[in-house]
Amino acid sequence: MLKAERQQRILVLMQQASAVTVRGLATEFSTSPITIRRDLLELGERGLLERTHGGAVATQEVLAEGSERYEMYNYLERHHQQSAEKSAIAECAAQYISDGDSILVNAGTTTHALAQALRGHQDLHVITNGLTVATVIGQSVRAHVYVLPGRLDIRKQATIERPDHDRFPDIQIREAFLGVHAVSTSGIYMRDNEDTAMNRAFINAASRVTVMADHTKLHAFASFRITSWCKVQRLITDAAANTEILAAIEAQGVEIIIAP
C-alpha cells in the first residue's frame, strides 16, 4: 500500500473513532510501528491530528471536514488558492474540447478556470450546475448554456440536489469535466453526499470523464467516493503532483496529463 493511501485511510479511521493507537494501526495495515509513527508525524505536521502517548486524536478539522473545514473559506478565497495551477490545468483541458462539442462541467473553482479558458470556443453546448461556470461561458454569444435545477448553495456557487432520476438519465454528453475535492489511488472524492450523488450522475451521463485536480487534491481528505478510476479516462494535474500516486492511478488505465 502506498504511503499516501495508508495516510488517507488513517484519517478515515480517525473520523470514525476520533482516536487511534500506533499498535492498532500497525496491525490494521500489517506494517511496523515505526512506519505508523512516521505517518502520524506527517499528518500532525499538516494539522490533521494531534499526537498522544501511543497514538493520536483527530482534530476538529477532520471531525467536521464535511462542513466547517471546507466552508471555512468563501468561494472567492478558494478561487485564489492555487490559481496558477488551476489556470494551467484549465488551459490544458480546453485543448481536448472542440467547437460544437456538448460537455458537462460541474461547479467549482477549477471548472470556473476552465470556463474562462473556453471563451474562444464556438457553438459549445454546456450543461452545468455551477453558477460562475454558467455566467462565464454564457457571456459568449457562441455558446449554449443549460443550468441544472436544484437547491441553491451560495457558498459553493452551485445548484445542489440529488438529480431527478426521471429526467437526468435522458441527458447524453460527449465528456464530463469534473473538479473534485480529493484524489487518491482508489478514486475521486467529495466532502458531502449531495455533491457525490450529483457527480455520479454526471459520470453516468458522459461517454468520457476528465478529472481536473491540482497537486493539493492528491493530499486532501474527503469522505465520500464518487467513483473508482474505472470510470475515469483522464486526469489533468500540475507538475507538483505526487509521482507515486500518479503512477498508481496510471496503472489503472487512466491517462495522466501534466499541465505545463
In a domain, 97, yes or no: yes
Kindly state whether residue 68 falls inside one of the protein's structural domains. Answer: no
Q: Could you give the count of Cα atoms lying within 13 Å of 9 in the half-sphere of its Cβ?
A: 14
43, 79: one domain: no
Asked if residue 24 and residue 50 are part of one domain, the reply reads yes
CB 160 within 8 A of CB 194: yes
pLDDT (0 to 100) of residue 66: 40
Query: What pTM was computed for the model?
Result: 0.74
**Pair (181, 54) in one structural domain:** no
Q: Are residues 149 and 236 in the same domain?
A: yes
94 shares a domain with 10: no
Same domain? For 38 and 117 the reply is no
> What pLDDT is stored for residue 71 in this prediction?
45
Mean pLDDT, rounded, of the chain: 85
- Residue 49 domain-assigned (yes or no): yes
pLDDT at residue 164, as a whole number? 53
Q: Is the pLDDT of residue 83 over 70?
A: yes
> In terms of domains, do 154 and 121 share one?
yes
The number of distinct structural domains making up the chain is 2
pLDDT at 90 over 50: yes
Task: Give CA–CA dist 249/171, Å, rounded.
Answer: 28
Residues 125 and 154 reside in one and the same domain: yes
Single out the residue in 63, 81, 97 at which a domain terminates: 63
Torsion of Cα atoms, 64 then 69 then 72 then 74, to 10° = -120
Q: Which three cell numbers stand for residue 80?
A: 485564489
Has residue 100 been placed in a domain? yes
Domain that holds residue 180: 73-259
Q: Could you tell me if 37 and 126 lie in one domain?
A: no
Q: Answer yes or no: do 42 and 146 share one domain.
A: no
Whichever domain contains 59, its CATH number is 1.10.10.10
Segment 117-139, tens digit of pLDDT: 998 899 999 999 999 999 999 88
Domain end residue (candidates: 35, 63, 91): 63
120 and 249 part of one domain:
yes
Is residue 121 a part of any domain in this protein?
A: yes
Residue 98 has pLDDT above 50, yes or no: yes
Cα angle, residue 173 at apex, residues 154 and 246 outer, rounded to 5°: 75
User: SS3 breakdown of the chain: % helix, strand, coil, rounded to 5?
Assistant: 45, 25, 30
